[in-house]
Amino acid sequence: MPTLFLNATQVVTCAGPARARRGAEMRDMGVLRNAAVAVDGATIVAVGPQDEICRTYPNAEEVDCAGAVLTPGLVDSHTHGIFGKPRHEEQELRASGVGYMEIAKQGGGIHGSVRDLRTRSEDELLELAIPRLRRLASYGTTTVELKSGYGLTVEDELKSLRVIRRLADAVPLRVVPTFLGAHEIPLEYRSAPRTREEYIGLVINEMLPQVVAGKLARFADVFCEPGVYTTDESRRILGAARAAGLAIKLHADELETSGAAELAAEIGAVSADHLAAISDAGIAALAASGTVATLLPGTMLFLGRVKQAPARTLLDAGAAIALATDFNPGTSPTVNFPLILTLAVSQLRLTVAEAVVAATVNGAAALGISAETGQLAPGMSADIALFEMEDVRELPYWYGDRRCLRTWARGIACHDANGGDTFPNSLRDRSL
């Protein structure tokens, strides 16, 4: 039986082409009044005037939106949610002047998370991840990309990806898996007898084949950054990943300019992420390509960096922009996607419409699923968020506040501020 979403003060559709939006397209988020959404099972079947929708589906079940704002579910296209303990001690180190790369050289940063994850079982990592995804859903997210990358051995990378697959089966959110075996060069490969070249060979010749054989990832990603992976190394790894059948993404120009954005455009990456240190040539390359520029302003905020990605310059040049949380234990420990929209408006100087489009349909494009989700339109997945506000412009305005009342992914409840959703709290709540 169909379900009707009625009595929203606004229905924000983001309706339009099932692809990344650019330029003026990003200024149209499709705000409707006196409108309703009809859902049949996992699919949106109609969006239009409420009276007309009610006449078309006279016996449907109803969800009373009670004057709140209905939007597409937010698409968080860049996260590192599979980890063990937090790294709160690093925040104090940065406050005292110790830089990101210096912390890494001392064995902290990603290396700290690697040591921790290697000690944990698959079940333990799953138990830790489920409430994190529950919190993501409670802020309006219905699609989340999850990366490996804190294992950096064959078994620990596979373990992380198996956790992601089990999460996809256990929770109602749409989960997109990414293989990030090239997140760092492990400490044990930084001195004789082991070398970084040996580790790169391990990623290409041992990890990748097993990831592909096990159908454990949709994407491969590389942290292309001075001091981590060079552009030549990134090209080799991602070329091998593409040849093996994976789509490709790239951590690009986060802290220093390296030509990573140009590389992403050259090799046809689905997205280039971070970009706070992108060059003019990189901006031009992305603008002329099909690669989505995914911006992560929460990371720069948490790191205490003044310089954010040049969002307006990218947008004005013609690049497609997405937003994501970069949820991770070291540099962006937030599940609050609306807070990222606040930063997009106040720090990146995007309009609210541009920010909402970047967090929905363009986030979906950054995951290659813009034909499935990111907009409220007939034929799209019933991925929906309901926010306690009268105007969608309040979404970035109430910064830090949780205004999400309910979310649904594929028509299944993910979050209900009043209880009653079907999201498991832990392994014990659902047979996996």
CATH number of the structural domain spanning residue 379: 2.30.40.10
Do 350 and 387 fall into the same domain? no
Residues in the chain with pLDDT values less than 70: 427-432
CB atoms within 10 A of CB 89: 10
253 and 319 belong to one structural domain:
yes
Query: What pLDDT does residue 427 have?
Result: 66
CATH code, domain with 102: 3.20.20.140
Domain holding 115, by residue range, is: 74-365
At residue 155, the pLDDT reads: 98
- Does residue 379 fall inside a structural domain? yes
The verdict on 33 and 146 lying in the same domain is no
Is 423 part of any domain? no
Is the residue at 427 inside a domain?
A: no
**One-letter identity of residue 155:** E
Please report, as a single letter, which amino acid is at residue 312.
R
Same domain membership, residue 385 and residue 255: no
Q: Are residues 153 and 38 in the same domain?
A: no
Q: Is 113 exposed, middle or buried (0-12, 13-18, 19+ CB in 10 A)?
A: buried
Q: Are 147 and 220 in contact (CB under 8 A)?
A: no
Same domain membership, residue 395 and residue 299: no
Q: Are residues 28 and 121 in the same domain?
A: no
Tell whether 106 is covered by a domain: yes
Q: Give whole-number Cα distances, 360 to 185, 312, 352, 368, in Å.
A: 33, 18, 12, 12
Is residue 83 assigned to a domain? yes
Which DSSP state fits 25? G
- Claim to verify: residue 179 and residue 295 sit in the same structural domain: yes
Would you call 76 exposed, middle or buried from its count of C-beta atoms within 10 A (0-12, 13-18, 19+)? buried
Give domain status of residue 422, yes or no.
Answer: no
Cα Rg of the chain (Å, integer): 21
Same domain, 343 and 226: yes
Residues 184, 273: one domain? Answer: yes
Q: Same structural domain for residues 209 and 296? A: yes
What pLDDT does 234 receive?
98
Task: Please give the torsion angle defined by the CA atoms of residues 262, 267, 268 and 274, in that order, rounded to the nearest 10 degrees.
Answer: -40
Residues 190, 247 within the same domain = yes
Question: To the nearest 10°, the Cα dihedral for 18, 19, 24, 26?
Answer: 80
Specify the pLDDT at position 160: 98
Any domain includes 351 = yes
For the chain, how many structural domains are there in total? 2
Interatomic CA distance for residues 177 and 402, integer angstroms? 26
Tell me the residue type at 432: L
